[in-house]
Amino acid sequence: ENHYFVNGGFFEVEDQLLRDAHRIADIPGVIVHGRYDVVCPLANAWDLTKVWP
């Protein structure tokens, strides 16, 4: 996680995952968000569920 933050992550722009969610539409998955996951706000998971078919 530290390596990710120090190196600016792997996305080119801030909302790339939401913008390009159609590219992963055929990949099944489940979003899991823990109660104590303070680094990733629940709103981020909710936004992804709205655009990931």
The model's pLDDT over 2-53, given as tens digits with 9 standing for 90+, comes to 888 788 788 888 899 999 999 999 999 999 998 888 888 999 999 999 999 7
Separation of alpha carbons 3 and 43, rounded Å: 24
What's this model's pTM, rounded to 2 decimal places? 0.72
What per-residue confidence (pLDDT) applies to 46? 94
Q: In which residue are the tokens 């990949």 written?
A: 27
Looking at residue 16, what is its pLDDT? 94
